[in-house]
Each structure stands twice: as C-alpha cells, then as structure tokens.
C-alpha cells in the first residue's frame, strides 16, 4: 500500500520505518523537511512532501501529530484529499498542562474523544484509532515474554478496521476491535494508563493484553 504519514516527530518516523520494513511505499508529510535528514539517511526508500502532497499520494494516511494540532494538520492535508481514505489515528488529546502524579491531562472529556471530533469535521475520511496506547519504541513488532500484545482499535467503517487489523498483523499485534468511533472515548485514555509507570517510575517497557 501507499502510506502517507502526517508528522515527522518520533511516532511518525517509527511508523514510517515500520511500514517501509513491511514492504509498503511511504511518504512522510512534514512542515519541516530538515527534521527528516537523518531518517532519510537510514531509510533511502522513504519520501517526503507537504501534508497535502503526502495525503494525495496515500492509500492509507497515518495521523501522527500532537493532539492539540490534529485538526489543523488535517485541514492542511486537505479535506478533499482525505475523502474515502483510511486515516490511522495514533494521536492522543494530551493537554499542554503537566501531568498530575504521573497522570496525563486531556483536553477532551470522557464522553467525547478526539477521534470523534476529527471524524465529525472530516466526514468523508475513515478514521481508525490505533497505535495510540503504546510507546513508540514498542509500536513495530514488539517482543514480550507474555506473548503478542493487544492493540485496541475502533472506527466507523467496518472495512477500514479490517484493513488496519491486517496492518497490525504485520506489525506483530493481535487486534481487539472495539467497534465504532465512540469507543475512542475508552481507547484514548489507555495512553494515560500506559504512561503512568513511565512517569512515576521510568518504566516504559509494557503493553496491554486482553485475556479471554
């Protein structure tokens, strides 16, 4: 597939590298191409472009910018360019305020997620929440003694969730499909829970697993 990653921060680079490793074509959309010089040195098959060109190129878009600017980045990507495309939404609605006792603060509340807001504005894009509930170092084929970790996903389009499940298979995850976009109200705060051991005790090497 042609993957367009919006954002050249750590998550954007890690996921772009993962998609290249799994044989996809990848373009990283950035406002600051200089940030990607080192990444290009290590990933010569990768490409870069503006947010709009990257979205035009993509079959599947990966949203990897700060939650506070997610809507701005998608506006710059262009609503028309996003129409009909899957958007893998790795963002979290983390507020600028500092954590309290290791607990991140969100600018959303428990009855409305960031992904629902984005889906409401960009009605023709097919958002699927994924990759938001684990640290970037563990996003691509993580190895745990406890076996394959679980990625919780949701989104309104059934076929889009199936496509993302296929991507997660490649990336070494089992997928727990939580249904429609409202489930992001539960999946986004998993990032809060995931970060607590890190922020309190500098422990970052864990992931969630759903036992049945």
Ligand X SMILES: NC(=O)c1ccc[n+]([C@@H]2O[C@H](COP(=O)([O-])OP(=O)(O)OC[C@H]3O[C@@H](n4cnc5c(N)ncnc54)[C@H](OP(=O)(O)O)[C@@H]3O)[C@@H](O)[C@H]2O)c1
Assess contact for 123 and 188: CB atoms under 8 A: no
Nearer of residues 165 and 194 to ligand X, judged by Cβ: 194
Nearer of residues 144 and 158 to ligand X, judged by Cβ: 144
**Smallest distance from ligand X to CB 73, Å:** 4
Nearer of residues 109 and 159 to ligand X, judged by Cβ: 109
| Residue closest to ligand X when measured from CB atoms | 9
Residues that bind ligand X (CB under 6 A): 7-12, 30-32, 35, 64-67, 69, 72-73, 76, 90-92, 94, 132, 135-136, 191
**Smallest distance from ligand X to CB 34, Å:** 9
**Smallest distance from ligand X to CB 111, Å:** 20
Helices assigned H by DSSP within the chain: 10-21, 37-42, 51-57, 70-77, 79-82, 114-121, 158-170, 184-187, 190-201
**Smallest distance from ligand X to CB 126, Å:** 19
The CA distance from 43 to 50, in Å, is 18
Closest CA to 90 of 117, 68, 110, 62: 62
The CA distance from 115 to 67, in Å, is 10
The CA distance from 112 to 97, in Å, is 19
**Smallest distance from ligand X to CB 90, Å:** 5
Nearer of residues 9 and 166 to ligand X, judged by Cβ: 9
The CA distance from 132 to 151, in Å, is 9
Nearer of residues 135 and 172 to ligand X, judged by Cβ: 135
**Smallest distance from ligand X to CB 149, Å:** 13
Calculate the alpha carbon distances from 59 to 1, 24, 153 in Å. 6, 11, 19
Nearer of residues 23 and 98 to ligand X, judged by Cβ: 98
Assess contact for 78 and 53: CB atoms under 8 A: no
């Amino acid at each position: 597939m042609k993957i367009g990653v919006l954002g050249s921060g750590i998550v954007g680079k890690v996921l772009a590298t993962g998609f290249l490793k799994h044989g996809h074509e990848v373009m990283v959309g950035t406002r600051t191409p200089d940030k990607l010089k080192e990444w290009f040195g290590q990933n010569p098959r990768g490409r870069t472009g503006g947010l709009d060109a990257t979205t035009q190129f993509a079959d599947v878009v990966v949203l990897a910018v700060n939650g506070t600017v997610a809507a701005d980045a998608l506006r710059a990507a262009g609503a028309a360019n996003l129409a009909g495309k899957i958007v893998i939404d790795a963002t979290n609605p983390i507020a600028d305020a500092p954590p309290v006792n290791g607990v991140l603060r969100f600018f959303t509340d428990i009855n409305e997620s960031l992904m629902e807001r984005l889906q409401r504005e960009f009605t023709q894009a097919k958002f699927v929440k994924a990759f938001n509930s684990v640290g970037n170092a563990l996003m691509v084929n993580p190895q745990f003694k406890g076996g394959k970790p679980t990625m919780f996903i949701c989104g309104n389009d059934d076929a889009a969730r199936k496509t993302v499940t296929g991507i997660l298979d490649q990336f070494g995850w089992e997928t727990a499909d939580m249904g429609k976009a409202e489930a992001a109200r539960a999946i986004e705060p998993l990032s809060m829970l995931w970060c607590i051991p890190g922020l309190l005790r500098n422990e970052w090497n864990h992931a969630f697993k759903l036992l049945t």
